[in-house]
Structure 1
Amino acid sequence: MLSGRILTPDGWINGSISFDQRILHIREDNSADSTLTIIPGFIDLHVHGAAGVDIMQGGDAGATVARAHAKHGTTAMLGTTMTATDNSIRRALRGLAPTIADRPTGGARMLGVHLEGPFLSIHRLGAQPADAIAVGSMDLVRSYHELAPVRAMTIATEVEGHLELIPQLNQLGIRVQIGHSNGTYEDGVAALKAGAAGFTHLYNGMTGLNHYRPGIVGAALAHAEYAEIIPDLQHVEPGAIRAALRAIPRLYGVTDATSATGMPDGEYGLGSQRVYKCLGCVRLATGSLAGSVLTMDQALRNFVGLGLDLADASNRLSLYPADYLGETERGRLAPGAWADIAVLNAELQPVAVFVEGEAIDLTTN
């Protein structure tokens, strides 16, 4: 049982929360210690690595990444792949499958895979390797989906043949995200009408907003219900984040974290690319940003620093990503939901984290 200031679906209360693997009771008690803040654990739908390990390595990389991010309050996540050769993607998916099937002790729940490519535009690869395929196919996606459950997929919907894939991907239960796209505003609107559900790292890796050519960013700002954004304050300037917050009702934060997360400055891997951590960010040798070293607890503090109240910031890192995936028993503190809980001090630093009721050891590296 925990007591403190608790964020419930109906708002804040002072009280106690009791749980085993799931939440049993939440009771109001005005005498409860209000110095601790209790919120739903974070749900990160775009994460490539941490602790020197990259998802594309395969093997038990997913378990290592899940454990590293759990220490920062992430209780559920999607292991995110890179555009790569077919063999490399299959290796990564085979490695993720056991972690998805059986949550590692001390780690976040791996809900499935975010397949970031290889159905991307060769003109908007960003830090992705030049392994995008000319035209995607459902046969290829199904073969990946059989190796590990794909829950979200980033595609450049303007590429010939990709728009027609969207309804079929939806039938597999895959949320289609527009990203790494060189499309027009009209392309973005057409993709949303076809069933695309969101946008991958809004502003980054897509055609920008111009008042004559609104681009994919314009389509997102004008029409999206959901979009992910990287709130590390380096991928997107604060003013642009604020504009997106006003325009997109369920804008949610992701880390796009790489293997350099939680590590000292130096050289690391991002798929087949070499990246360099310095001054709190990760770049290719060319100087281009290449993922981040963001953690979700820092994302919460950044959102609050931008002026969001704590409940709104929490929703954008827990409730909205849960709802986006249809995970109705996560991302909220309510009886019957999974006991995925983050306990914060006055500085919004995690002092306790529980994943499906298991207490995570925050002291070890």
Structure 2
Amino acid sequence: MTVIRAARLFDGQSLHEDCAVWLEDARIVAVRPGTEAPTNAERLPASLLLAPGFIDLQVNGGGGVLFNDQIDARALGRIAAAHAHAGSTAILPTLISGTRPQLQAALQAADDAMAQQVPGIVGLHLEGPFIAGTRRGIHPADAVTSLTDADVEMLCRPFPAPLLVTLAPETTTPARIHRLAQAGIIVFAGHTEATYEQVLAGLEAGISGFTHLYNAMSAFTSRAPGTVGAALDRATVPAGIIADGLHVHLASLRIAFAAKGPDALFLVSDAMPTAGSDCTGFSLGGERIHLHEGRLVNDAGTLAGAHLTLAEAVRVVVRDAGLPLEAALRMATATPARVARLADRGRIGAGHVADLVALDTGLAVTAVWQSGMRLR
């Protein structure tokens, strides 16, 4: 049994003063007033805030590894470890528009990683290849394709954890989207040229969220609201957002927050191999990607994912965008946990996985616990 006493605690919903958290093995067994903590409890400095471990639903790489380049459980372990050290204790590793054999390999790699209990791997995100070629961004052009009945059958095979699939609704049929959703797959709209009306049809069919709001989707205009307009108009439908100060203007971030709030808007890193690493470049689909002044771009200057961790995104939301601390933390913990159907994560409460982070007054991560084990 481990007991941690914190002068300030964010439980996934709100802030509390002077609390003690009891951990046993990988679970939280109790949260009580700090005055009930035993004398041998670990007492955090009064300046630190204890919060749930961050949950990142879009992680392409980290620690020098790109999932597309090494599609196996060992690579997932390295990626997850890099992000855990930075405070993201649960991630959905994300494959960027792979070929059909790569999709099958990714499903197997994630299954293997979870069977081996690789810390931090809690599911899988397949971002494409069923997307619009006009909105592919950095995704390899030769991988982009349309969703077929055979693809639906492959994706609907039993999988032991949350599976998130990003697709462009206009490139397939509502019937296929419905089949995916009925099979328990979390279907998001992204990398799409869809009209407002096409998005609404997709939502009716079973789409339940949006991938990296604003980026790689049809824009909002006065007479054609597009995918962005549909996402903002449907306030309760979840949307991920990349808060690095590069992918989304701070004013756009605030507008999205005003429309959706912290229970529907959540943070994603869209992290690439440079996150949690000293590497400064990598290749994706035959293109060289460079890190320059915090920005990842190809030779043409197209943004290529993000050099970002979720802890850094929280700091941008609070420090630069001026949003409330509680909201920013919820957008990195309880909200993505609910979106990914991870019922026992994203909160500090009895029965939840003992994933915790300690943050200093500048919101830098100073300590991490993953499944009850202290990493730093």
TM-score range, shorter chain: over 0.9
Specify the SS of the correspondent of 1:13: strand
Task: Report the alpha carbon displacement of residue 217 of structure 1 after superposing the two structures with TM.
Answer: 0.3
Provide the rounded CA distance (Å) in 1 between the counterparts of 2:81 and 2:14. Answer: 31
Unaligned runs of 5+ in 1: none
Question: Which residue, out of 19, 27, 34, partners 1:22?
Answer: 27
- Provide closer, same or farther for how the CA distance between residues 150 and 344 of structure 1 changes in structure 2, counting only shifts above 3 A: closer
Any residues of structure 2 matched to 1:55-94 within 5 Å, and which? 55-56=67-68, 57-59=70-72, 60-94=74-108
- Provide closer, same or farther for how the CA distance between residues 150 and 24 of structure 1 changes in structure 2, counting only shifts above 3 A: closer
TM-score by length of 1: 0.92
Provide the rounded CA distance (Å) in 2 between the counterparts of 1:288 and 1:81. Answer: 19
Question: Which residue, out of 222, 235, 258, partners 1:246?
Answer: 258
Task: Report the alpha carbon displacement of residue 22 of structure 1 after superposing the two structures with TM.
Answer: 0.7
Equivalent residue for 1:151?
A: 163
Equivalent residue for 1:287?
A: 301
Task: Report the alpha carbon displacement of residue 300 of structure 1 after superposing the two structures with TM.
Answer: 1.1
Provide the rounded CA distance (Å) in 1 between the counterparts of 2:322 and 2:204. Answer: 33
Question: Which residue, out of 277, 280, 283, partners 1:263?
Answer: 277
Task: Report the alpha carbon displacement of residue 177 of structure 1 after superposing the two structures with TM.
Answer: 0.5
Equivalent residue for 2:225?
A: 214
Provide, for residues 127-162 of structure 1, a one-character-per-residue CA deviation record: whole Å limited to 9, x for no partner: 100134543124324425548556111010012x33
- Provide closer, same or farther for how the CA distance between residues 204 and 301 of structure 1 changes in structure 2, counting only shifts above 3 A: same
1:202 aligns with 2:213: yes
Specify the SS of the correspondent of 1:111: coil
Specify the SS of the correspondent of 2:169: coil
Task: Report the alpha carbon displacement of residue 241 of structure 1 after superposing the two structures with TM.
Answer: 0.4
Equivalent residue for 1:304?
A: 318
Query: 4+ residue stretches of structure 1 with deviation over 4 A?
Result: 30-33, 144-150
Equivalent residue for 2:292?
A: 278
Equivalent residue for 2:131?
A: 120
Provide, for residues 240-265 of structure 1, a one-character-per-residue CA deviation record: whole Å limited to 9, x for no partner: 00000011131000000011223346
Question: Which residue, out of 185, 189, 195, partners 1:178?
Answer: 189
Give the total of aligned pairs.
357
Equivalent residue for 1:53?
A: 65
**Greater CA drift, 147-156 or 26-35:** 26-35
- Whichever residue aligns with residue 63 of structure 2, its letter is A
Provide, for residues 289-312 of structure 1, a one-character-per-residue CA deviation record: whole Å limited to 9, x for no partner: 010010011111111112222211
Provide the rounded CA distance (Å) in 2 between the counterparts of 1:130 and 1:345. Answer: 43
Aligned identity (percent) is: 34
Provide, for residues 10-56 of structure 1, a one-character-per-residue CA deviation record: whole Å limited to 9, x for no partner: 54231211102111111113697532210111000001001110111
1:40 aligns with 2:52: yes
Provide, for residues 187-216 of structure 1, a one-character-per-residue CA deviation record: whole Å limited to 9, x for no partner: 112211222111010000001111121111
Task: Report the alpha carbon displacement of residue 273 of structure 1 after superposing the two structures with TM.
Answer: 3.7
* Contact 1:259 1:270 survives alignment (8 Å): no
Question: Which residue, out of 291, 315, 318, partners 2:330?
Answer: 315
* Contact 1:266 1:276 survives alignment (8 Å): yes
Provide the rounded CA distance (Å) in 2 between the counterparts of 1:123 and 1:276. Answer: 23
* Contact 2:89 2:355 survives alignment (8 Å): yes
Unaligned runs of 5+ in 2: 37-42
Question: Which residue, out of 180, 190, 196, partners 2:201?
Answer: 190
- Provide closer, same or farther for how the CA distance between residues 303 and 133 of structure 1 changes in structure 2, counting only shifts above 3 A: closer
- Whichever residue aligns with residue 14 of structure 1, its letter is D
Equivalent residue for 2:16?
A: 12
Equivalent residue for 2:39?
A: none
- Provide closer, same or farther for how the CA distance between residues 66 and 134 of structure 1 changes in structure 2, counting only shifts above 3 A: closer
Equivalent residue for 1:348?
A: 363
Specify the SS of the correspondent of 2:204: helix
* Contact 2:129 2:145 survives alignment (8 Å): no
Specify the SS of the correspondent of 1:120: coil
Provide the rounded CA distance (Å) in 1 between the counterparts of 2:106 and 2:288. Answer: 17
Provide the rounded CA distance (Å) in 2 between the counterparts of 1:178 and 1:141. Answer: 16
- Whichever residue aligns with residue 331 of structure 1, its letter is G
Specify the SS of the correspondent of 1:187: helix
Provide the rounded CA distance (Å) in 2 between the counterparts of 1:286 and 1:74. Answer: 31
Provide the rounded CA distance (Å) in 2 between the counterparts of 1:69 and 1:167. Answer: 33
